[in-house]
Amino acid sequence: MSRDQLLWTAFRLLLLLLPSATADLAHKISVNSRGQFVDGFGRVRIFHGINSVLKQPPWYPDQMLNASRLRAYQDWGFNAVRLGTMWAGVQPRKDAVNATYLAVLSKIVTTLAEHGMYSIMDMHQDVLTSKYGSYDGVPRWLVDSFPPPPQPYPWPLPGPPTPSQWAEGYITWAVGSAFQYLYKNESGSLTHWANFWRSVASAVRTSDHVLGYELINEPWAGDVYNRPALLLPGVAGRDNLLPVYDYLTQVLAKEDPSRIVFYEPVTWSLVVGGTGSGGTGFDRLPGGPANANRSALSYHYYCWIVSPGDGIYPLWKRLACDALLLTRNLENAKEATAATGGGRFLTEFGLCAPTGQANATGTIECNEVLQRTDEEQQSWTYWDSNFTRADGSWNWDVVRSFARAYPMATAGQPVSYSFNLTSGRFDFAYQPDPKVRAPTVVFLPMSVHYPSGVSVNVTGGYTSRLEGNQLLVQPPSGTRRGARAAADTVVTVTVTRK
């Protein structure tokens, strides 16, 4: 082959590879120094989505393989699913791996990716085990190998909690001691836990739509009867959780080094807040500061003092929930990650569902969280994503609240964005970064909020074009890539209904 032929062959090969390389950049997600999720182009990414967890065999939600349902989710702007990835499903017996279950998880991840959705692989548990009245978030064979608790289950409760009061199981000494055994490697628990994550990462790491791995859902503090100081969230985080998270993070770094590790504090840590014995107890990231680009604090918000329903939301309850608890959760999550580095993601909120009544508890509570997360530029996944009525039809009262306009990918720094649920008006401002070689993408739920089309106004000479549900915003024609933008340059995007 001549030199000219060789160069031409290399050029054609480059042309063939460019689309794949461009797609890889778009899908590769990490965390920048500001704690924002960014893709390979450097665009700031926001995620809206749902939780999908099945707490019993076969341990996977088959609706995540339902193409028509996923198309609807995509049409509403959902680009993330926190997917129940169940330890008991992966390791049904000691030293046994269920390859069939892993194959199904991999298929779900692939199917979600085909519909534009990233997966957070969530090792879900609640009250740890079926041995103590729950389901097997941790395999029963492992819990059965732990020493017996100092007091039999359900001490100190007079009887087992009812299904609606399942969280009371955390009060029992049996559950607390089982968590302590888990954290302290009783019966080789940490080795088994690490093997679980090795198996999961090996099964899904080839997908470019795995956002990351969530080490454990809502960890309990440990044996609070033997050591009451563990009720202080900072003590539990520092002494029980962080050493375990260090170990598991190192394991995952060897299996899938580019993915984000999602880690949770005890659930009340962000209500207490502060440092030392308060707050998360994480004075550094799991695995150390070098993991800042692949770490994210996973946190939850629920207003446990009310049970939101269809009734009118009393002002005092709204103040307690939204002005106090929600504010503390959002602010303390921000402070925690500002101290350690890494990102943050509201991976659960709920106990609310819009009803179509403006003053109803569910309507106000859900819409308040959605509005506040817009203000904080926070990604979220909703629990438990019940968008259908009893007859299987879509519950449009719920859909309308969650199908929101938002900046899915920003080629620069977002300044602010807001969506008016009533009027459909969307306002967005950002500081452009001409070095980013990809457009800003604003998601618009056309079928839900803009059935007759949209009117768009973009300032700064930037242009826009609508492709399906995505509004692409680009710099003026002739702008040189990599040119320095003025520090005070702000592009605004306004979208209204026609």
Helix pair 99-114, 189-204: axis angle to 10 deg = 50
At residue 159, the pLDDT reads 97
Q: Provide the pLDDT for residue 12.
A: 42
CA distances from 24 to 20, 30, 419, 498 (A): 6, 13, 30, 36
Per-residue tokens: 111: 């199917």
Predicted confidence at residue 23, as pLDDT, reads: 61
Is 187 in contact with 142 (CB distance < 8 Å)?
Answer: yes
Residue 412 CA to residue 441 CA, distance in Å, equals 11
If phi over 0 gives left and psi between -120 and 50 gives alpha, with beta otherwise, what is residue 42? left
Q: How far apart, in whole angstroms, are the C-alpha atoms of residue 216 and residue 42?
A: 29
Q: Compute the distance between CA of residue 120 and CA of residue 78 in angstroms, rounded to an integer.
A: 13
C-alpha–C-alpha distance, residues 475 and 463, integer Å:
6
* Nearest residue to 414 (alpha-carbon basis) of 390, 440, 434: 440
pLDDT in tens, the chain (498 residues): 554 444 334 434 444 455 555 567 778 999 999 999 999 999 999 999 999 999 999 999 999 999 999 999 999 999 999 999 999 999 999 999 999 999 999 999 999 999 999 999 999 999 999 999 999 999 999 999 999 999 999 999 999 999 999 999 999 999 999 999 999 999 999 999 999 999 999 999 999 999 999 999 999 999 999 999 999 999 999 999 999 999 999 999 999 999 999 999 999 999 999 999 999 999 999 999 999 999 999 999 999 876 656 688 889 989 999 999 999 999 999 999 999 999 999 999 997 889 889 988 889 999 999 999 999 999 999 997 789 998 999 999 999 999 999 999 999 999 999 999 999 999 999 999 999 999 999 999 999 999 999 999 999 999 999 999 999 999 987 666 555 556 679 999 999 999
Task: Report yes or no: 292 and 343 within 8 Å, Cβ to Cβ.
Answer: no
β-bridge mates for residue 214, sequence order? 122, 262
Tokens of 1: 């082959």
**What confidence score (pLDDT) does residue 356 get?**
87
How far is the C-alpha of 301 from the C-alpha of 295, rounded, in Å?
A: 20
Instruction: Calculate the CA dihedral of residues 485, 48, 82, 447 and round it to 10 degrees.
Output: -130
Whether pTM exceeds 0.85: yes
Torsion of CA 92, 98, 100, 106, to 10 degrees: 100
Which pLDDT score, from 0 to 100, does residue 26 have?
78
**Locus of tokens 């480059």:** 14
Tell me the C-alpha distance between 112 and 207, whole Å: 10
- For each of the domains in the chain, give its residue range(s) and CATH number, in order of start: 44-403 (3.20.20.80), 405-498 (2.60.40.1180)
